[in-house]
Amino acid sequence: MAGGKTRKEKLQKGAAAASKIHFQGGLPFHKSKGQHILKNPLLIDSIIQKSGIKPTDVILEIGPGTGNLTKKLLEVGKSVVAVELDPRMVLELQRRFQGTSSSTRLKVIQGDVLKCDLPYFDICVANIPYQISSPLTFKLLSHRPLFRCAVIMFQREFAMRLVAQPGDSLYCRLSVNTQLLARVNHLLKVGRNNFRPPPKVDSSVVRIEPRKPLPPVNFKEWDGLVRICFNRKNKTLGSIFRQKSVLSILEKNYKTLQALQLSHEGLSDDTEMAMCVTALGDTLGDLSMETDEGKDDNEMEMDDGDTKASDFKDRVIGVLKQGGFEEKRSSKLAQADFMHLLSLFNVAGIHFS
């Protein structure tokens, strides 16, 4: 009886696991790999229409799956470069378009889009695995030469953080860094039932247009400032910059730069700039949002016992007062505010990288 019961339990577990794998034409999809295939042809047509694809465009598609979106892209663009990690999907794409008039205009790259070198493209149109949303966004924005735009399907909450404005509850470091580099617009909301298998959350299509030229800012400096400001985005900047840990880091940078007499100027080399842009996405989890919840409100502020430390603290707070930032909160600051604040700190000899 015990052996029979164990066998029955194994069969039940096997059936449950099989129920989580979805099929299309005999090809299984795996949710764990972010494989959610667009099945609504009207939605695909809408994405194509909103992408503004030109007949001369080279189109980058990421995670093409079985090629439902790929087919429509080939109808409107010059060619499609499709990057697909799953070798089964690569084979399915090749079979689907083999012998068609589109076959010569489709190039399939098998590999991890986050690790492979991307070729030239004019526009990116993609329904991506949601777990790579943040690193992929910044990899695209670091690509050179810059593309015209990207129209991408994201998990809805991630998408709304991309487009969030100062004062919105979802406004965070992801919002600020992305909007520094690009204009971001929400195009349409997509229900989960438009996919096979359906994901657990709704999605949104977002349009990302890289800024040309890029703003005249040192991206390492920018990211250092924004990281500190959004560590507790609902605290006043005066409170944040009085923290002992923050002052310690800034004073260390200040002393090092004074000793080395280094100048912090804008980056000129395209390769180094691209690396810095990519770094803006580091540790930005796909659904990370800076909040004050769960953080210790009793974190120590710098006391005035050490005269030198107190002098540096006065310098930092003086910068905040000079720009009228001491009582302001990161959650309410716009791009221009952060740029102004960074400029004031740098003029005072205070740097963030």
Question: Annotated binding residue at 36?
Answer: yes
**Mean of the pLDDT values across residues 249-263?**
81
**pTM score of the predicted model:** 0.82
- Asked if the model's pLDDT at residue 232 lies above 80, the reply is yes
pLDDT of residue 206: 98
- Asked if the model's pLDDT at residue 32 lies above 80, the reply is no
Report the largest interatomic distance among the alpha carbons of the chain, rounded to a whole angstrom: 81
Question: Annotated binding residue at 194?
Answer: no
Name the more confident of 79 and 264: 79
Q: Rounded mean pLDDT of the chain?
A: 85
Question: Annotated binding residue at 63?
Answer: yes
- Asked if the model's pLDDT at residue 295 lies above 80, the reply is no
Question: Annotated binding residue at 314?
Answer: no
pLDDT in tens, 197-206: 888 899 999 9
pLDDT of residue 284: 53
pLDDT of residue 274: 66
Amino acid at 240: I
- Cα separation, 183 vs 289, in Å, equals 20
CB 226 within 8 A of CB 335: no
Question: Annotated binding residue at 38?
Answer: yes
**Mean of the pLDDT values across residues 329-342?**
96
pLDDT in tens, 55-98: 999 999 999 999 999 999 999 999 999 999 999 999 999 999 99
Location of structure tokens 């993609």: 126
Question: Annotated binding residue at 202?
Answer: no
- Cα separation, 76 vs 59, in Å, equals 10
